[in-house]
Chains A and B, each alone.
Chain A
Amino acid sequence: MKRRTFLGGAMAVAVLGQGSSASAQQPPIKIGMSMPQTGGLAGGGKASLLGIEIWRDDINAKGGLLGRKVELVVYDDKSSASETPAIYAKLVDVDKVDLLFAPYATVPTAPIMPFVKQRGLLLMGNFSFQVNSKVGHDMWFNNAPWGPADSWAASFLDLAQKAGGKNMALLTADQEFAQNLALTARDVAKKRNLPVVFDQVYPPNTVEFSSIIRALKAAKPDIVYVASYPPDSAGILRAVNEIGIGDDVKIFGGGMVGLQFAAVMSNLGSLLNGVVNYNTWLPEKSMYFDGTKEFFDKYTKRAVEAKVDPLGYYLAPFGYAMGQMIEAAVNSTKSLDQKGIAKYLRENEHKTIVGPIAFSADGERKETATLQAQFRGVKDKDIEQFRSSGKQVILFPEKLKTGDLISPFEAARK
């Protein structure tokens, strides 16, 4: 009797299930991810998440994907690599999400790469650096503009050599991202027969840089390539301001993390002038595409509530773009089949609010769109100034260029 009741119930559920899938009330499409919301990467993670949430709200206002609402399932990975394997296992096996986004940054992403490869799952990357190079997963697509591994150092050294740089000094933090940059910088310098006259690696959390900057100055380099993290970026610029760096230096900067964030920029103010540094999006006229302005109008309003970076140039629009790419792929393939979506993403160029995106075989950008921009005319203690164009003039890539390098560094600082 009991068994029969159970069977009957199960059949009823099955019939009901079939009925409802045909009706308008369909379950939402779930997109799962972890995001650093506490710990060292939290500032970036929250801004990135807000970008993705704005996309979700936009797409739901348009009626969703395939007629279904989009829902995000987000967990905090505490900026740590050790949290993400369990979180992604839960997303896939328990929450049964339809699609996966990666967390912001390399460290939390690295442990889930083998997992998604083994399960044959599509993973949209979120600003990690060369995380797929050893894994070789063919369903990985990174939203970051990095492009080929060496392009970052190459673009900076191109500018430097054009300005007459003949030797290089390297100043790098002993941390994951900075060391990745340093590695490629050394390679590129070697290929171009550019002697490295100074190569200093400093421990993370260094605050006092005056002795290091003195030693660097004594080596008389033409090019100074710095790969640093937010607290040390500030420390280095303060030391340079106090001690000076010498008239030989043609170009200074390259890979300084932190100079993309509103709080750090307004804190450093005029110390930023002259520094050439990487960036991903800037309010220059070449950077506005379809929907870019509307996105930042929404972001600026919501950033106050969400207590995230008020400018949000660095990560947020790329979170939105990640959603746009999924939107295009799902709408074109008319399904949630991950292999189909991956094929579409690989074979097409995608229009996004950060410009057109095309992927190479390793899931990174075909061409680098990492900007090198020079700070100019920055005043102290004013966040709003960074919203206007001309404060960070884009020197690279050629397509997006809005000005030429002012060199030497000492002249550009004035």
Chain B
Amino acid sequence: MMKHRNSIVFWAGAAVFLIAVLSMTQIVRNEYPFFAGYVILQFIALAVAWSILGGYAGYVNFGTNAFFGVGVYTAVALFKATGAPLVVQIAAAAVVGMTLGFGVGLLTLRMRGIFFSIATIALAIIIETFVMNWRFVGGAAGIQIQRPPVMAPFDSYVKMLFFVQALLVVIAVSIARYIQNSRIGRGLQALRDDELAAECTGVPTLKLKLVACMISGALISAAGAPAAMYLQYADPSSAFNLSYSVSALAMALIGGTAHWIGPVLGAILLGSTQQLLAVTISSEVNVLVLGIMLVLFVVGAPKGIIGLLRPRYRLRAGGKP
């Protein structure tokens, strides 16, 4: 009963959020909020997707940028080859991201902890090098893309992308929420705390890890796909920028990984701070501020914002961060 009511509240909240976003695109004329808001929404999707593997399963993926870049370049390649619409680009990116996630999932067979993290960094470098030498999508020099005309009811492409990214956030959050409350989530928690013990008690660890990797990868790549149309330009060093990995990880950790709301809060806090700092303190200081924020949270609130807000999550979270 309680669970049922929670569900109603959640879906009502999601609907209100999407309606609010949609009406914002119809009412607000100034485009800046959409440019900045798009980036924040993108980080929410990334942080939530990251925490499915990094938070629930405890496998710290440093290759967010690999999945993100794969999403960007899947969209670019598809758009250049066939002029595919945005929806197809995102769907294709999700499929490619899922396939890549399957590969990463297989890595977890032999590697865990820091070794897994290092392997994911290596993955990002390998894929970036591949894209750098792929002339069809511009190679190292990057590629400029001309956006197709915008679709109704939107009057500008950025507003449309803002709405699309909001939709992706809702999808990511609802999947994360479903996983958290299902057998998969409990299994992942078990293997995070002690993989061997979980395996011995009958938790299908490999299957769960593969599922987590594939879902997380698909969501990250899907969130990255619209970036090609947002920037109207793609170059390997921006698309595979390590800052996506660091940000997604930091946002999830600052928010707390025990509950899906954690990465959302972390991404909103950190993402808006980043956007705000970019247009206020325009110097090295903005990098410093973010660093200090991270350190403060790691020291003062190891379970993140949700650990501070709701002490009961502290109990639920357990184990490693």
Contacts and interface: CB of A to CB of B under 8 A. Distances in A.
B35 interface: yes
Given A81-B238, A89-B32, A176 B142 contact: yes
Determine the interface band of chain B, counting residues with CB < 8 A from chain A: 35 or more
A110 B141 CA distance: 11
Contacts of B30: 93-94
A76 B283 contact: yes
A107 B286 CA distance: 21
Given A114-B146, A174-B133, A180-B141, A75 B278 contact: yes
A179 B141 contact: yes
Given A93-B30, A111-B232, A111-B233, 18 more contacts: A37-B283, A38-B283, A38-B287, A74-B282, A76-B282, A81-B238, A83-B278, A86-B275, A107-B142, A111-B231, A114-B147, A131-B144, A134-B144, A174-B129, A175-B140, A201-B133, A203-B129, A203-B132
B46 to A, nearest CB: 13
Contacts of A180: 141
A81 B231 contact: yes
Contacts, number: 110
A178 to B, nearest CB: 7
Nearest to B244: A82
B35 A176 contact: no
Most interface-central of B132, B133, B287 (chain A CB within 10 A): B132
Interface string B258-296: 000000000000000001001100111011000000000
A107 B232 CA distance: 12
B230 interface: yes
Given A107-B238, A114-B232, A82 B129 contact: no
A180 B282 CA distance: 30
Given A85-B35, A114-B232, A174 B140 contact: yes
A293 interface: no
Contacts of B278: 75-78, 83, 86-87
A174 B32 contact: no
Interface of A: 37-38, 74-78, 80-83, 85-87, 89-90, 92-94, 106-107, 110-111, 113-115, 131, 134-135, 173-180, 183, 201, 203
B283 to A, nearest CB: 6
B39 interface: yes
B279 A90 contact: yes
A124 to B, nearest CB: 19
B30 to A, nearest CB: 5
Contacts of A83: 278
Contacts of B132: 174, 203
Given A76-B283, A80-B241, A85-B230, A179 B36 contact: no
A74 B261 CA distance: 35
A178 B233 contact: no
Given A76-B282, A89-B31, A110-B233, A82 B139 contact: no
A134 B241 CA distance: 25
B26 interface: no
A113 B284 CA distance: 26
User: 9 tightest A-B contacts by CB?
Assistant: A86-B35, A89-B35, A76-B282, A81-B238, A110-B233, A111-B231, A89-B32, A93-B32, A179-B141
